[in-house]
Amino acid sequence: METLLNLTIYLPLLGLIGILAARSEDAVKWIALAATSVTFAVSLPLIFNFDVASSDTAQFVTESGSLVFGLDIKYIVGLDGLSLLLFMLTTFFGPIVVLGAWTSVKKHVAGFYSMLMILQTGSLGVFASLDLVVFYVFFELTLIPMYFLIGIWGGSGRIAATIKFFLYTLVGSLIMLVALVYVGYHAGAAINNGVFISDWRVLSGMEYQIGLVEQTWLFLAFALAFFIKVPLFPFHTWLPYAHTEAPTAGSVVLAAIMLKMGTYGLIRFCLPLFPNAMLEFAPYIAFLAVIGIVYGALVAMVQKDVKKLVAYSSVSHLGFVVLGLFALNVIGVQGAIIQMINHGLSTGALFLIVGMIYDRRHSRQIEDFGGITTIMPVFAVMFMLAAFSSIGLPGLNGFVGEFLILMGAFTSESIGNIWFAIVATTGVILAAIYMLWMFQRVMFGPVTKEENKNLKDLNAREIGLLIPVMIFIIWIGVRPTHFTQYSEHQVTVLLEQADEKRIAVIESAQNDIHNLPNWASKFYDITPSLAEATTPKTDQDER
């Protein structure tokens, strides 16, 4: 299985070699489809052989020797309860994205599919990496192909959108790199005989603890990179432009896969490494998440471009994911993890559908449509399912994630205010308003535009690539435990270990309170009584 995991990660690169050697555009497409389809097929035994009872430990692990002389950096990949479903989602969307771009990409075809292959390998590496440095390499690798996908094959405003996307994500990543290097050397000095170490399994354990002051700055550095990637309000401004200008395939990969790297990073790295900071910042991050939920929904409501509406809906939906993660209880984090998958399916499907109607009509303006249901009935059914999934209709996947997240937020001690959950609930109502209003204007009413009368319904290729997504949309909605079972045990263990580590750090801080800045002792609730208990009494005190 270890070999199978590595084969899954790097198979797209073999497809890249075949693409570069191909002599025709048709050959390029078929090679890309074959590479992504085989990658998905090869990944299936990983989930079939995954031991749910041991989901809190990495499985199918490959570990190399040191990659850099004098530094304990190793190539370590494996899957556990946090990463398995996101890894499978990435392989699942591979052939779907290739088929979705089959007829829409007409220039530099080999270059386009080459970028998709590199992007898939980078994304799979992100979710499988168990070493911080290896994770960072894959994390940055995904930036390069997405930069070219938007900048070369995007719309008329692609250059500005690409630069904004690149600068936002690069700045956040470089700040995280500085923090990563500090963690590696700090851990080396503490537990590895002074040798830099970046093994996540070691760093997340009880033997390695980071002081309160260091946690604060390191958490902010890591979290900033992940918040930009999500993106969380107010770091979201690059996303609508990137989505709007990206080709359909780029939008699908961005929504279904790349945005999840931010939320995944928060639960994978920030919680086990910086548990005290995660808890103390939870109310503030929850506040930003709720603003993002409501703001994204309100802005989506006034959009005239269908694709931009879906883009702003992502800001709102991913605000729910962040809220669930910072609820820091099992139900909230479980809801956030399954909602990552749900958002990938529903929003990925919506971008595919918008791309299909754009290929026929060469317009995404809502006012240019109307009455499409009578002309494209199959398209209408697919669009309806994706829209209902996005608004969280009971019986479909979106309801499961949002319900768990809101339950977790209502009962969360870390957030500490039920008003966050109450206000977030309005995001569900607003989502129904903007999505159903858009659907009504596009799909119903009289056909007022002559160009719409000759539109053709979905063909076999388009139906074939949408049906698997719709199956999972319904499956997760009807039987969510088939999917939540993979992460439930690990989420429970992870939160328990974070609590133990948090207490140990606080106890250490109480013993060393004189070395803490005043803001740290107050911010982390090192109370005066505890401080007095650990402060030696002087002769003056005795008198």
In a domain, 193, yes or no: yes
In a domain, 527, yes or no: no
In a domain, 534, yes or no: no
Range of the domain at 441: 2-503
Q: What is the pLDDT of residues 379-434, one digit of tens each?
A: 999 999 999 999 989 999 999 999 999 999 998 888 878 888 999 999 999 999 99
SS3 annotation, 168-221: HHHHHHHHHHHHHHHHHHHHHHHHCCCCCECEHHHHCCCCCCCCHHHHHHHHHH
Q: What is the pLDDT of residues 446-460, one digit of tens each?
A: 888 888 888 898 999
Compare 509 and 372 and report the one with higher pLDDT.
372
Give the pLDDT mean for 486-496.
91
Q: What is the pLDDT of residues 392-403, one digit of tens each?
A: 899 999 999 999
> Global pTM?
0.91
What confidence score (pLDDT) does residue 514 get?
67
In a domain, 407, yes or no: yes
What is the C-alpha to C-alpha distance for residues 257 and 39, in angstroms, rounded to an integer?
Answer: 16
In a domain, 51, yes or no: yes
Number of domains within the chain: 1
Percent of the chain with pLDDT over 70: 95
**The pair of three-digit structure tokens given for residue 267, joined into one six-digit string:** 């639960």
Contact 353, 437 (CB under 8 A): no
What confidence score (pLDDT) does residue 139 get?
93
Give the pLDDT mean for 322-345.
94
> pLDDT band for position 464 (50/70/90)?
very high
Question: CA 249, 251, 257: angle at the middle one, nearest 5?
Answer: 95
Percent of the chain with pLDDT over 90: 60
Write out the DSSP string of 463-496: HHHHHHHHHHHHHHHH-THHHHHHHHHHHHHHHH
What is the C-alpha to C-alpha distance for residues 468 and 101, in angstroms, rounded to an integer?
Answer: 17
The H or E element that residue 510 is part of is helix 481-511
Name residue, tokens 């700045």.
171
Q: What is the pLDDT of residues 519-542, one digit of tens each?
A: 776 677 664 433 333 333 344 443
What is the C-alpha to C-alpha distance for residues 48 and 484, in angstroms, rounded to an integer?
Answer: 15
β pairing state of 71-79 and 59-68: antiparallel
Give the pLDDT mean for 304-315.
91
Residue type, 467: I
Q: What average pLDDT is seen over the chain?
A: 89
What confidence score (pLDDT) does residue 447 get?
84
